[in-house]
Amino acid sequence: MTTFRLIRHGLKVREIGDVPLTEAGLAQARLAAGALRERKIAAIVSSPLLRARETAVPLARETGRSAVVDDRLRERANWGDVPGQTFAEFVAVWERCTREPDYIPPSGDSARQAARRMTSALTDWASRYPPGVEIVFVTHGGLITDFLSCAFSEQELENVCPGFAARQSELIPECSITDIGYDGGCFRLGKFADTGHLRQDG
């Protein structure tokens, strides 16, 4: 089985466009990297958006692997892709996409299209290495939940996270780690949105 560690990027600057991480986000990225320091990571694959690429930097440093960009890991949509769009308008479109998986927004992908991109990336990267390796994807909360919603039944998701469908947009904290196993064409959901590595209370 191939194990994927899906990491959401760290806390980003709250501005329009392709924004960087905040100082807190950079600290989160370092903690996530530290949590994977002893793992035998075969590859680190990042979304092309700046917040994800910056999150991948300490992971690459800690594991000795160069981070590779894969466009399939970009978010479903990004505020600023539609000229003149206010944040409130972006949120309204985002929420509609979540409610209606086949709705295609003015810019970006439907939730189902995004899930297919993620599925393609997972199966592709799994095929590049022998079974038993671990691969890190640095990506986005929306893309992770889009994938989970399409790859697993509602009951499976309710078992790991009650109220998943209703709370989907708030379930993946920054720099949380979700584990996905891939074996023989089948996905298995392991640790979900874990943030234990981000606690600094000793």
Per the annotation, the verdict on 75 as an active-site residue is yes
Query: Where does residue 106 rank: exposed (0-12), middle (13-18), buried (19+ CB within 10 A)?
Result: exposed
Per the annotation, the verdict on 9 as an active-site residue is yes
DSSP letters along the chain, please?
-EEEEEEE---B-SSSSS--B-HHHHHHHHHHHHHTTTS-EEEEEE-SSHHHHHHHHHHHHHHT--EEE-GGGS-S--TTSSTT--HHHHHHHHHHHHHSTTPPPSSS--HHHHHHHHHHHHHHHHHTS-TT-EEEEEE-HHHHHHHHHHHS-HHHHHHHSTTHHHHGGGSS-TT-EEEEEEETTEEEE-S-SB-GGG----
For residues 3 and 8, give the distance between their C-alpha atoms in angstroms, rounded to a whole number.
16
Tell me which of 54, 62, 75, 174 is the catalytic residue. Answer: 75
5, two tokens? 């560690």
As annotated, the active-site residues are 9, 75
